[in-house]
Amino acid sequence: MDFLLSAQVASRFEFVDQTGSTNTDLVASATTSPSDFPHLSVLVAGSQTAGRGRSGRAWVSPLGKSLAISVLVRPIGWGIEQFGWLPLVAGVAMRRAVQQALPEKQVGLKWPNDVQVEGKKISGILSELLPGATGVVIGAGINLTLEKEELPIEAATSLLLEGSQISGDEFLASYLSELEQLLNDFDEVTRSVREECSTIGLNVRAIFPDGSELVGNACGIDDSGRLLIAVPGQQQLTAVSAADIQHLRHN
């Protein structure tokens, strides 16, 4: 693939046909040679064989049908206590890029960072902190041209299945441009996250890593980027930092 548009947005750009994990590769390279990997260094693979999703799930992308994207960010003016917002920010950037590719579709951002087209997952995001907290590598996957039988889960989709003919380069350049702009103003971007997160206002089920769960209304996002859930019968809101969130159709 040619990525002439995307390379113009990135400060450093590399594409490989296949790798184990773009996040692992970029974290290792940026740690070994930090001066060679400035803000908005990008590594993209046409396929990855050992990628990781949230909660340790496998994240495998088929050759030529999707993109595995890792972006090193060192946002100016952001403190380490604000880094927890970065996956959410990347989610907003991805949601906007998907919306531009599918202007007639309803595209939502499910907390913390799954992008959905009319309820079907098209992209997921996983961030990793560099040693010494000198930056964060944001990994994202986007389903480009997967056919229905190639989807990793039933409740997934691809740009092709939804009717988009956008090229991988055009889409990636759109995502990177949105991400770059969002990172310029922390206060403004937190407002954007709260406005564009489709989870807010819905009844949800939160399933925690230990298997426990709770059901309530997702009523906001706190200053650390945690989802706030109002549980019936409880006066205090529950702040959720790590859980699988399911949108419930009915009250």
pLDDT at residue 52 is higher than 80 = no
**Among the listed residues 182, 184, 179, the one whose alpha carbon sits nearest the alpha carbon of residue 192:** 182
Please enumerate, as own/partner, the contacts of 242-245 that have beta carbons within 8 Å and a separation of 24 or more. Answer: 242/55, 242/208, 242/209, 243/206, 243/207, 243/208, 243/209, 244/54, 244/55, 244/206, 244/207, 245/110, 245/111, 245/112, 245/199, 245/204, 245/205, 245/206, 245/207, 245/218
Q: Summarize pLDDT for 165-189 with one digit per residue, the tens.
A: 999 999 999 999 999 999 999 999 9
Q: What is the pLDDT of residue 61?
A: 60
The larger pLDDT score, comparing residue 158 to residue 249, is at 158
pLDDT at residue 51 is higher than 90 = no
Concatenate the DSSP letters of all residues of 126-194 into one string. Answer: EEEEPGGGS-EEEEEEEE-S--GGG-SSTTB--TTTTT----HHHHHHHHHHHHHHHTT-HHHHHHHHH
3-state SS, residue 109: strand
What is the dotted CATH code of the domain comprising 203-247?
Answer: 2.30.30
Looking at the chain, the domain(s) classified CATH 3.30.930.10 span 4-196
Looking at the chain, the domain(s) classified CATH 2.30.30 span 203-247
Distance separating alpha carbons of residues 138 and 180, to the nearest angstrom: 12
What is the dotted CATH code of the domain comprising 4-196?
Answer: 3.30.930.10
CA 24 to chain centre: 16
Q: Summarize pLDDT for 93-147 with one digit per residue, the tens.
A: 999 999 999 999 999 999 998 999 999 999 999 999 999 999 999 999 999 999 9
pTM of the model: 0.92
